């Protein structure tokens, strides 16, 4: 299954991402910071 975790650097998001990666899923994440698959900063829109 392919999943997109919004806020993958956050308190809950990083745990959700790790859990599904360990289960063998294709997981992508968004973040306001560098290092995520997709970077999104609403303050720069």
3-state DSSP percent of the chain in helix, strand and coil, to 5: 30, 25, 45
**Number of domains forming the structure of the chain:** 1
Cα distance between residue 31 and residue 21, in whole Å:
17
pLDDT in tens, 11-25: 999 999 999 999 999
With bands split at pLDDT 50, 70 and 90, how would you rate the model's confidence at 32?
confident
Q: What is the domain range of residue 29?
A: 2-44
Percentage of the chain surpassing pLDDT 90?
Answer: 56
- What local confidence, expressed as pLDDT, does residue 15 receive? 96
> pTM of the predicted model, to two decimals?
0.75
């Amino acid at each position: 299954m392919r999943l997109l975790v919004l806020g993958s650097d956050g308190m809950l998001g990083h745990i959700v991402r790790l859990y599904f990666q360990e289960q063998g899923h294709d997981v992508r994440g968004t973040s306001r910071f560098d290092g995520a698959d997709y970077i999104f900063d609403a303050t720069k829109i």
